[in-house]
Chains A and B, each alone.
Chain A
């Protein structure tokens, strides 16, 4: 019996029937030759400033991916076929709608832009459809969560489910995206340096002047020091997977238990997930489905052969030029859900810092000897960015 088990243990690649082991990284020889215009932008009815980004991705034998923003393009979105709205380039390649611009259900939108080189591109006309609200967002502990990489091990996770009432009498196509707020106690890492703040005073109560990491040649070049946050700080994670759904089999029914995310558990602290539900057009749905099939749902026993991604943007002068990206308009329903992680029963969790950096944090005080600087901080400032905030995320305390 033992022999048989050994055979089974060694013999079959369990990836075939469920467990990793037969997936290895592969070093492909690529024949790269691409020069593609990439468009990203969804007009929504969210109450926020909206942008469209234009870039060009080039791949050749020397470099797999050179992405350059398309600058100085004339970008216009035509609303309802009549009203052009001009966008302003706020950062290289990022074009911003006028401040008060919000999408509106029922309106049509069409993107049109002319590059500095004179090529004109035009999208199909997209109609913003209404979206039903998310009825409920909830989580479930899954000891066998997703794998970080295809050849990695699975990590325990919180599976996030939503319920939604699909409207009858209309064909609905959904796209979900989410962002996750996780508490992050560690704010700064200095390599061959120390984090320095100047307490302007009064000490402990007044403002401080952040100098940041200051190089310290007395420590090794690979030496790192980690500094905890002075106050609460959240790291923000965004979905990278495409999640689309069609009501082709479910029109008008209440959808229960659509899994929108599987959040790996690195720490037992609560987290907040903000789920956005977008209504998209059939063509957008088709585009995203194909996109998902070839970039994320690969590695099955029967993959579909990949095909050139073709969005809804065309070069007016050259129909065969392929533009990557889909310009769409979507109404958005938002749901915030606090993942309390009280049902997390098993697993060892080494913290978010460890999960992101692959090591435990190292305090400056662990190093003997004093700082050559006037004052070395024991705690660092949480600097807000796209991936970090020091403000309570809305819904955190609900």
Chain B
């Protein structure tokens, strides 16, 4: 059945003309483009000679009516009937010795102008496909006839096509879109429908053209068709090709006789005449022109034009007549392939790929789109015509077809060409209408007028998910580190360093609640649940005055609101963790709950991998519950609860000193709750009141030999109430707010459990209050200048009960230099600090696409981590400012230049900053904060300065998005409280901070190949961080030990890494309610052994140097995520 079906039927007709009627099925199965039509639907018994074999429309066939062998003159005409063609036409041809072949097709209904209401069962897709199917069928018919000339008694150079009304569109397309093998010798168009005639460039070897039109019949449509016919005729003439036009004027208005009925005989005579003159009829003489019509021949075109009534012409392009395509408003380019089996045996011409290219949003056909085959290796590329139509012939095999057009995202499709033609409709996405696809956008240019701020970046969470991620865990902090100005000390760092700030100088807010430890598993993963993130804003330059309490930056992470309308479920599985998110609308449109959880319990696999891993524990989990209640139009209430828990044990962290434990386990947990009441007072005025509760409890557990577990517990508790009033005007915005924060810190309590060895030891609880007032004001001053001015006043009160030591001035603070001490009762103020924190941002527009910005910030920090390790441990001690420890004060000055070009597709930013911080915290050699009631004896305070230039260029839209940035940044500290080594660092000279990495280059590329595939690459390079290497070695009792004279005198080898990810979306392409995504990630693609640290160890009397790597090999991982709606 694969081959052609060819059955001969006897003509049972009683008609006077004997004929050999043959039905050739062009395809042996139902055409896949036909969805809603059923067979036999379009049989019109009176449209063909009686007794002819009826045919089904759903599978195109070719019905042959052959003249007697004696009378045949070798000419064949393929007829594309319209709605009501008469059988007498076929008879007419046979009488003239012309073999007639009727192609049934489905174009008719779909080709009618919209609004005729004749398409009850027809999908729009059917109509679009019908034309292409019919064209393909026509080509196949011509090819077929050329191959079977002997059997059919015809000549290969005498095969023409004739289209009636809707069928004329097919006939004309065959003139345009054919190759030698399937090009008709002549083309006749009879009463073409308005809007179906293309007027593209006429092919050089165009066939002879014969047009019959009725120029002013009963309807405007036919008049329009006549106008378009003359235009087509002109095109043919301009191209120097042979053409003939007969455009009939209306009969007298009162005849009442249908015009076409009248003229059939007439135009058939003209057609015969023309065929004869072209030499297609061997034995016929030239007929006389018929009165009443204007016969236009090539010699006298002016007459035809003069006959056209002076009605406004509608160009054919404006009425394509093809209904809206399928993939409107789809987010991705959609390619539809219609792959149909072939029916005709002995096919020798190349299979064809044809289709229409359209705008994905508007459905407009796109003219001039380049169709490139196999990346130009093959020269058969083409461009689409005015209707967006293209056709190329390709040899059998695999091919890549790319459709390109300026302003659109290219669409790439892999084709497997077998013996069959392929229909391929392409929807291209306009780049300008695309959402920005980069992970990091600078909130700059688009919003310049409203936001004269700089150094504000926004992470696109969806794009973040396309980035390669270590072990398949989508990670916010790692994404952040692709930004200029954000670094860390390495892969296991417990936080990030922003513009020269320490990790604790970043205010990290998750739905307004502070996060004291942003990572799981010691820096490997961040604590933010990736599936429920909404917006992520990083303020590293201008910080609005509503934020305060940290010296360097603000990371404001908002979780998405529950879906109030639809239940949805999403989740995922990766090597590390499993996660699930559920949206439950409880009262539709009013009240909904979002529950999300993530857990990493896969360490049970470790003993399977190796017995030696049996003792390892590394588990974490986090969860979110968020409820949103739309009380009424003016009030909403939001409550967020967040909890996270970590448990891990590793030999790579120090044991709890001075407790005889056999191992050390770390665990820490966070419980954060936020409630927010949002009230709209007027369209311009709203009030937002928020209450925050955040508790962070880290613990160190040390099991003794007896089995008893000794626990060191500490905690940070923050409670906060704040209220903001926002007032929005046309070009200005005002915000006023007040906030009060209470801190309660338990710096450490040793819980002996059942131990007989360890005692209960505790350190005094710290209480403090931070009060703040703030106002933010933004307005534009003239067309070029915009100002954002903020002012915050913060007052910090360190509260009793406490015992405050007073040390002798000018001496090292230690137990010896204590002069006396003061005991304060509960609630008594032991010390207060405070001051104004001005924030200023200026934006000056340099042109439509460029601006210059200036920013100044002052920020005060009253709560900090005191630790002397390279990166804070989860258990590191938080400390409020007190009479002996001054708050840190940081000033930042920033200048930035912003430029967007190519329709906001590209963006270039350059920012330069200078930052100075007073009272930074450093440590005396051998400092120990564990259970230390007087931490001031262990630390030193000094100065820090940081400066740098950050440049970034990004392509935000298109098939390929990404960015490249380069940062030059330095961070230097100076600590000098006295001349001895205990009182200064590096003798009081400026020294490099642990995270001082001068040169950083980050690059990211995401390629969205199609709806189902995207590829991502990231590359990161940065100078190695400083470390301290020995400046000498000493030998003590025969064993050699390193000696460190200077801090941070060396650098690690440069860090660089490339990652790759391949995201596969919804691979099954079915079941739209369930969307799956596979992500295959290769982290550290080329397996570089990046050093996390270099350390020296005295072993057996020798000092050996080692480097420690966290990810020392390429790490493949596979994860699966799904959404169910």
Chain A residues with CB under 8 Å of chain B are 3-5, 7-19, 21-36, 38, 40, 53, 55, 57-59, 64-65, 67, 144, 148-151, 161, 240, 245-259, 286-287, 289-291, 293-310, 319-320, 322, 324-325
Interface SS of chain B? loop
Given known A28-B1105, A299-B1106, contact A240–B1098 (CB-CB < 8 A): yes
Asked if B1106 and A67 sit within 8 Å, CB to CB, the answer is: no
Does B1095 lie within 8 Å of A308, measured CB to CB?
Answer: no
26 contacts between A and B (CB under 8 A): A8-B606, A13-B1113, A16-B650, A19-B610, A24-B1107, A28-B1050, A34-B1033, A34-B1045, A59-B1032, A248-B761, A250-B758, A251-B759, A255-B660, A255-B757, A295-B1097, A299-B1093, A301-B492, A301-B522, A301-B1108, A302-B494, A302-B871, A305-B1028, A305-B1048, A307-B1047, A322-B981, A324-B1043
| A7 touching B1117, Cβ below 8 Å | yes
Partner of A240, one of B980, B1034, B1045, B1101: B1101
**How close is A157's CB to chain B, nearest CB, in angstroms?**
14
Closest to A11 in B: B1115
Q: Do B1112 and A26 touch (CB < 8 A)?
A: no
Interface residues of B in 1076-1125 (CB under 8 A from A): 1089, 1091-1101, 1103-1113, 1115-1118
Question: A33 to chain B: closest CB distance in Å?
Answer: 6
Contact indicator A13/B616 (Cβ below 8 Å): no
Q: Which of A9, A249, A286 touches B659 (beta carbons < 8 Å)?
A: A249
- Cβ of B981 and Cβ of A298 under 8 Å apart? no
A45 to B1101, CA, bound (A): 27
Q: Does B551 contact A (CB under 8 A)?
A: no
B582 within 8 A of A: no
Chain B residue numbers with a CB within 8 Å of A24 are 1089, 1106-1107, 1109, 1112
A308 touches B925 (CB 8 A): yes
Contact partners of B994 in chain A: CB under 8 A: 305
Kindly identify which residue among B756, B1035, B1039, B1041 contacts A254, using a CB–CB cutoff of 8 Å: B756
Q: Which residues of B contact A246 (CB under 8 A)?
A: 657-658
Most chain A CB within a 10 A radius of its CB, from B603, B613, B651: B651
**Shortest CB distance B654–A (Å):** 6
Closest-CB distance, B237 to chain A (whole angstroms): 69
**A307: chain B residues within 8 A (beta carbon):** 925-926, 981, 985, 1044, 1047
- Write out the residue numbers on chain B whose beta carbons fall within 8 Å of the beta carbon of A144: 612
B750 close to A249 (CB less than 8 A):
yes
Q: Which of B658, B985, B1029 contacts A31 (CB 8 A)?
A: B1029
Report yes or no: B1033 in contact with A258, Cβ–Cβ below 8 A.
no
Residues of B within 8 A of A249 (CB): 658-659, 750, 758-759, 761, 931
Find out whether the CB atom of A26 lies under 8 angstroms from the CB atom of B1106: yes
Q: Which of B605, B612, B872, B980 contacts A320 (CB 8 A)?
A: B980
Q: Which of B931, B1045, B1109 contacts A308 (CB 8 A)?
A: B1045
Q: What separation, in Å, do the CA atoms of A40 and B657 have in the docked complex?
A: 25
Asked if B609 is an interface residue, CB under 8 A from chain A, the answer is yes
Interchain CB contact (< 8 A) of B1110 among A13, A26, A150: A13
What residue in chain B is nearest A247 (Cβ atoms)? B658
Distance of A267 from chain B, by nearest CB (Å): 18
**A290 and B931 contact, CB distance less than 8 A:** no
Assess the A22–B757 pair: CB atoms within 8 A: no
Check if B658 sits within 8 Å of A299, measured CB to CB.
no
Q: Can you name the residue of chain B whose Cβ is closest to the Cβ of A58?
A: B1032
Starting from the known contacts A36-B1032, A59-B1031, 7 additional A-B residue pairs (CB-CB under 8 Å) come to A17-B616, A21-B1112, A149-B1097, A249-B658, A252-B759, A253-B757, A256-B705
CA distance A384 to B56 in the complex (A): 111
Any A CB within 8 A of the CB of B1042: yes
* A293 and B94 alpha carbons, distance in the complex (Å): 107
- CB within 8 Å for A5 and B1097 given contacts A12-B471, A248-B761, A250-B758: no
- Report the minimum CB–CB distance from A52 to chain B (whole Å): 11
Whether a CB of chain A sits under 8 angstroms from the CB of B819 is no
Name the residue on A nearest B1103 (C-beta). A295
Residues of B within 8 A of A149 (CB): 1097, 1099, 1104
List B contacts of A308 (CB < 8 A).
925, 981, 1043-1045
Contact among B613, B1049, B1097 for A150, CB-based, below 8 A:
B1097
Compute how far the CA of A303 lies from the CA of B1111 in the bound complex, rounded to whole angstroms. Answer: 18
B1109 to A22, Cβ gap below 8 A? yes
Q: Quick check: is B740 within 8 A (CB to CB) of the other chain? A: no
Please provide the 5 A-B residue pairs with the shortest distance between their CB atoms, ordered closest to farther. Answer: A34-B1032, A307-B925, A257-B705, A59-B1032, A302-B869
User: Does B206 sit within 8 A of A, measured CB to CB?
Assistant: no
B363 at the interface (CB under 8 A from A): no
- Are A300 and B652 touching (Cβ within 8 A)? yes
Most buried by B among A149, A250, A291, A302: A302
A300 contacts across to B, CB distance below 8 A: 652-654
Complex CA distance for A250 and B1116, rounded to whole angstroms: 48
Does A22 contact B1045, Cβ atoms closer than 8 Å? no
CB contacts under 8 Å to A, within B501-530, are 522-524
Assess whether B1037 is interfacial by the CB under 8 Å rule.
yes
- B756 adjacent to A257 (CB under 8 Å): no
Q: Which residues of A have CB within 8 Å of B1030?
A: 30, 32, 59
- Closest residue of chain B to A299 (Cβ to Cβ) is B1095
Q: B646 → chain A, closest Cβ, in Å?
A: 13
How many whole Å from A294's CB to the nearest CB in chain B?
6
Task: Report the separation of the CA atoms of residues A255 and B756 in the bound assembly, to the nearest whole angstrom.
Answer: 8
The answer to whether B868 and A319 have CB atoms under 8 Å apart is: no
- Which of B750, B1035, B1107, B1111 meets A67, CB within 8 Å? B1035
The reply to whether A245 and B658 contact each other, CB–CB distance below 8 Å, is yes
**B308 at the binding interface (Cβ < 8 Å):** no
Chain B residues near A294 (CB-CB < 8 A) = 1042, 1044
CA distance A55 to B1033 in the complex (A): 12
C-alpha gap A51/B650 in the complex (Å) = 41
Taken together as a complex, chains A and B put the C-alpha atoms of A286 and B937 apart, in Å, by 14
A57 CB contacts on chain B under 8 angstroms: 1032-1035, 1043
Q: Which of B471, B759, B1035, B1048 contacts A38 (CB 8 A)?
A: B1035
A53 touches B1028 (CB 8 A): no
Q: Mark B602-645, 1 if CB is under 8 A from A, else 0.
A: 01011011101101101000000000000000000000000000
B306 at the interface (CB under 8 A from A): no
B979 within 8 A of A: yes
The answer for the CA separation of A164 and B935 in the assembled complex, in Å, is 30
Find chain A residues with CB under 8 A from B1096 CB: 28, 295, 298
Q: Chain B contacts of A240 at CB under 8 A?
A: 1039, 1098-1101
CB of A329, distance to nearest CB on chain B (Å): 17
Q: Whole-angstrom distance between the alpha carbons of A17 and B979 in the complex?
A: 41
Q: Residues of B contacting A319 with CB < 8 Å?
A: 979-980
B759 & A250 in contact (Cβ 8 Å cutoff) = yes
Are the CB atoms of A40 and B1036 closer together than 8 Å?
yes
Q: Is B100 an interface residue (CB 8 A)?
A: no
With A249-B758, A302-B653 known as contacts, the answer to whether A9 contacts B1100 (CB < 8 A) is no
Which residues of chain B are within 8 angstroms of A320 by Cβ–Cβ distance? 979-981
CB B491 to nearest CB in A, in angstroms, measures 9
Chain A residues in 8 Å Cβ range of B1071: none
A22 touches B1037 (CB 8 A): no
Contacts of A297 in B (CB 8 A): 654
In the complex, A246 Cα to B980 Cα: how many Å? 26
In the bound complex, CA of A144 to CA of B1109 (Å): 22
Q: Is B575 an interface residue (CB 8 A)?
A: yes
A residues in contact with B653, CB < 8 Å: 300-302
Q: Which of B985, B1042, B1109: most chain A CB closer than 10 A?
A: B1042
Known: A249-B750, A300-B652. A33 touches B1033 (CB 8 A): no
Q: Chain A residues near B1091 (CB, 8 Å)?
A: 26
Query: A33–B1045 contact, CB under 8 A?
Result: yes
Q: Which residues of B contact A36 (CB under 8 A)?
A: 1032, 1034, 1043
Give bound CA distance, A374 to B291, whole Å. 145
Select one of A19, A30, A291 contacting B1029, CB under 8 A.
Answer: A30
Residues of B within 8 A of A324 (CB): 1034, 1036, 1043
Tell me the bound Cα distance from A265 to B1108 in angstroms.
27
Tell whether A12 pairs with B1115 under 8 Å between CB atoms, given A26-B1106, A253-B758.
Answer: yes
